[in-house]
Structure 1
Amino acid sequence: MKNDGISYGPLVEQLVLLVLATAGLGAILASGFYIFSILFVPLVGLCIYRIIRRYGESIRRVTFMFNAIDNDDLTFRFRDDEAEADNRMLNTALNRIKEIIVRAKLRAEERERYYQLIMECARTGLVTVNDAGSVYQANGEALRIFGLPRMTHIRQTETSMPEACRALQEIRTGQRLHVKEMTEAGEVNLSLTCAEIMLDQKRLRVIAVSDIDDYLAQTQIESWSKLTRILTHEIMNSLAPITSLSDTLLHLGRPLDTDVAQGLETISATSRRLTAFVETFRRFTRIPEPQKAPVEVRGLLERAAALVATPQVGITVDVQPAEMLVYADEGLVSQVVVNLLKNAREAVAAQPDARIDVRARIDEGENIRIDVTDNGKAIPAAVTENIFTPFFTTKADGSGIGLSVSRRIMQLHNGSLRLTSNTDRRVTFTLLFE
């Protein structure tokens, strides 16, 4: 008898021999020739013994295999070259079972690596925790948001982000929580959602944490842009006839009353100043679409530094690797860097050891990061909440659109501009090109 190339003959032969011996013994006993039963009893016993022995050996091998699998040890292999065909058949079958399990395990590991890669590529922080707060898994974005090198328990966030820690503990399936934190780098806005799963008979919560600062900033800037376009359009429509009419009256070619002439000159001058003021605001809504091309980062930063540096304020530029390139609109990005350097120069003007450092690196996510750091005083909390708000300024002659325009330019490059450090002697604005 054959099946998949494996011989079942020896086992069948033993069974047939046992049946024949048993039938012969029964026939002798039935005929009354008991003395002849002595010939068949040993044969029956031998057949039963051999079958029981083979059964026991099979059970031991199967038990050994299951114990090894239970201990996650799949290095075993049974000999498939034994002389006895039935042992060879069993060993071959057990080895085949092991190979099926190994393939299934490899497929599971591949799927796990695939899902892990998806988690790491996600722009949303993902944290898996149990009811006690222990962290089973946290992706790179979650670690970045919470500023941790690794995360084993949600209490690790309590010192730097107490509100976020409380939200991680309290959030449950279907809830959406918004958290606002004040950190050294300024205000951070987080959105948290939660789902529950059962894994290895344990209930786990999968918490998605999103840093919505960029989204809020983009929404805010778009709203301000629309409002500014409407207001400047209406103001210009109203100013244009006033300016034109006052100029016409002033140049009629005939003498005017002194008071009338002065009034018309005042109206004309005021309308021109208002026009110039509105044109400044119009710049906020007239940012051209970036014309991107490969740009050498070191050259761009050094040229911007040369425009801003003074004998009193030194600017150092450090770019690693030195040949770093960024795919961007050089003119627009230079405008951002120059604006940040000018702000930094004003911030350190009163410092006897005034210093500005510009540092460019490639971060862990293969993004280009440019840090502009000065050693001035920390920006007050009341100011950091609004520094990127259009038309907000603390300068007497400022328009309040410099940082807003800079952030908008970075958003048009699919990047971001943030205040990433805000302490005395270390204030850092970071440009990130993704």
Structure 2
Amino acid sequence: MNNFRFQIILRTLLLFLLLFSSSYFFQNSNFFLGILFLIAALIPVYLIIAYSELSNKELIKFLKGINYSDFTQNITINNLGASFIKLANEMNQVLEKFKTLSFEKEENIKYLQTVVEHVNIGLITFNSKGEIGLINKGAKKILRISYLKNIIDLDKQIIGFGEFLFQIQPNRKSTYKFSYDGESIQLMIFGTEFRLKEQNLKLISLYNIQSELDEKEIEAWQKLIRVLTHEIMNSITPISSLATTADSLIKNSPDYHSEKEWIKDIVQALKIIQKRSEGLGSFVNKFRDISKIPKPNFQTINVSELFFRIRLLTEPIISDTEINISFSIKPENLEIIGDPDLIEQVFINLINNSVQALSETKNPVINVTAEIDEKSGAVFKVKDNGIGISENVIDRIFVPFFTTKQEGSGIGLSISQTIIKAHNGNIWVESSTNSTTTFSIRL
């Protein structure tokens, strides 16, 4: 027989027995025993209620566990029969399933958080008031911030950008270009809207496409240069060869030693053709310098040792001037990953440009620095107090063969940019006429 039913029946029979006894004594005018047995009847009433509530206590425990997401509870209903043991087992199985689902949910949340934090794309969510719900590391790195409470607060960092993101239309791609500490940044932006917890939220994705644009521009220049060098050399070679042959034929001619004017004119013309061909050949070789930058041989570079070598390499061009050049590293044990030969070439180009810009400056100074920017990595700067760069020129200084110098080739800065881009870095300049000029490199 079911133990729970047996216990209830037993307590009920005891209750009826006590009530019957109390009634018997009242009928026989024995009020004392009648009252005594009536009071005693309260005992089985209490036992019936307490015993029947044993399962309710475990049920309340079970429901509280679900309500407060405490799935470590263990439901035990003993001495109540097989049906209650089965009920307890079912409750424990339900709690175990909830526990498994909760664990899987936490694992999925951790997985999504890890993915969101490690993607290069910046992600920001905010509500209709602009209050930030989520901002990942990618967004913080792109925007150079460590904390953001409201999307409009971005206007303090980049004028108008917070309002632009707040007003952006969903499911549409946009671009936004701005300058941060002189570095040009162009973002591809996509916005979408969704509803969560009865709130309308907007999700913004940010991707810095400036490096891709620069790479495409460099690639386009290199392709153009390869085509031009091929076509020009195909034309120069036969012209130079024919000029040399014609010059040889005239020199072997009986009329060569005569005083005829037309002979002299032809010889002079051939010399000009040969010289011009050599000049064009030299010019084409400079084209090739840009289009044939070797791939970086990446290795760990100690910046202190790098600066020491650069100081030695640039000493010949500094020693004959009054320029005061200084090198600074913070921290002193700073290391980067890159090709030391190519990186040296970049710094030599930049320092050489500074030397030329300081030719007419009193108390000329060049400061070469390296430091860690916690938001974006190692930053190098070459700063001089020379003549500066005018606004109408500064946007073109990295264009191949663009130069403002009479004897300049216009390839030094272009090669430097190509090298830095090959290191997945960025190079930019801040300057104005008759002001300091600072070339910055981020690696």
Work out whether the TM-score is over 0.5.
Answer: yes
| Residues 18-39 of structure 1, C-alpha deviations (whole Å, 9 max, x = no match) | 56568x78xx9xxxxx98x988
Distance (whole Å) between structure 1 residues aligned to residue 97 and residue 72 of structure 2 = 13
* Cα distance in 2 between the residues matched to 1:163 and 1:343: 36
SS at match of 1:251: helix
Aligned to 1:4: none
> Alpha-carbon deviation of 1:104?
6.3
Give the alignment's TM-score, normalised by structure 2: 0.76
In structure 1, what is the equivalent of residue 400 of structure 2? 390
Within a 5 Å distance, the mapping from 1:116-127 to structure 2 comes to 116-127=113-124
Matches within 5 A, 1:271-286: 271-286=277-292
Give the alignment of 1:2-401 within 5 angstroms: 14-17=7-10, 42=42, 45-51=45-51, 54=54, 69=68, 108=105, 111-162=108-159, 164-252=161-249, 253-254=252-253, 255=256, 257-306=263-312, 307=314, 308-310=317-319, 311-364=321-374, 367-376=377-386, 379-401=389-411
**TM-aligned CA deviation for residue 219 of structure 1:** 0.5
Unaligned runs of 5+ in 2: 21-25, 28-33, 257-261
With over 3 angstroms needed to count, the CA separation of the structure-2 counterparts of 1:78 and 1:249, relative to structure 1, is closer
The whole-number CA distance in structure 2 between the counterparts of 1:422 and 1:17 is: 100
Give per-residue Cα distances to partners, 1:203-245, cap 9 Å, x unaligned: 3222111111110010111111001110111111111111111
Distance 1:153 1:355, change over 3 A: farther
The structure whose Rg is larger is 2
The CA deviation at 1:190 is 1.1
Does 2:419 correspond to 1:409?
yes
Which amino acid in structure 1 is aligned with residue 426 of structure 2?
L
For residues 179 and 195 of structure 2, what CA distance do their matches in structure 1 show?
A: 35
Equivalent-residue separation in structure 2 for 1:17 and 1:354 (angstroms): 109
CA distance in 2, matches of 1:376, 1:95: 80
* Aligned partner of residue 425 in structure 2, secondary structure: strand
In structure 1, C-alpha distance between the alignment counterparts of 2:322 and 2:111, rounded to whole Å: 55
Q: Is contact 1:193-1:209 (8 Å) kept?
A: yes
- CA drift at 1:119: 2.9
Superposition deviation, residue 431 in structure 1? 3.0
Contact 1:128 / 1:207 at 8 angstroms: preserved in 2? Answer: yes
Distance 1:204 1:134 in 2: 10
Could you list the per-position Cα deviations for residues 320-350 of structure 1 after superposition, in whole angstroms to 9, with x for gaps in the alignment? Answer: 4434444433222211111122223334445
**Alignment root-mean-square deviation, CA:** 4.5
The one-letter amino acid of 1:385's match is: D
Alpha-carbon offset, residue 170 of structure 1: 2.5
Give 1:358 shift. Answer: 2.2
Residues 58 and 75 of structure 2 are in contact (CA less than 8 Å); yes or no, is this contact kept in structure 1?
Answer: no
Select between 92-101 and 317-326 the one with higher mean Cα deviation.
Answer: 92-101
Q: Separation in 2 of the partners of 1:120 and 1:12?
A: 59
Matched-pair identity in %: 28
- What is the deviation of 1:187? 3.0
AA paired with 1:215? E
Letter in 2 for 1:226: K
Paired residue type of 1:269: K
Q: Does structure 1 retain, via aligned residues, the 8 Å contact 2:58–2:76?
A: no
The answer to whether the 8 Å contact 1:287/1:409 transfers is: yes
AA at the equivalent of 2:233: M
Aligned to 2:114, the other structure's residue is in SS state helix
Q: Provide the rounded CA distance (Å) in 1 between the counterparts of 2:222 and 2:65.
A: 70
Shift of the 96–226 alpha-carbon distance from structure 1 to 2, 3 Å rule, reads same
Q: Any conservation in 2 of the 1:187–1:385 contact (CA below 8 Å)?
A: no
Task: State whether residues 184 and 422 of structure 1, in contact with CA within 8 Å, keep that contact through their aligned partners in structure 2.
Answer: no
Unaligned runs of 5+ in 1: 2-7, 29-33
Q: In 2, are the aligned partners of 1:295 and 1:328 still within 8 Å (CA)?
A: yes
How far the C-alpha of 1:412 sits from its partner, in A, is 2.5
Contact 1:249 1:264 in 2 (8 A): yes
How far residue 42 of structure 1 moved from its aligned partner, in angstroms, is 4.9
Aligned in 2, Cα 1:184/1:42: closer, same or farther, shift over 3 Å? closer
When the two structures are superposed, what TM-score results if normalisation uses the length of structure 1? 0.77
* Residues 300 and 338, structure 2, Cα contact 8 Å, conserved in 1: yes
Distance 1:346 1:98, change over 3 A: farther
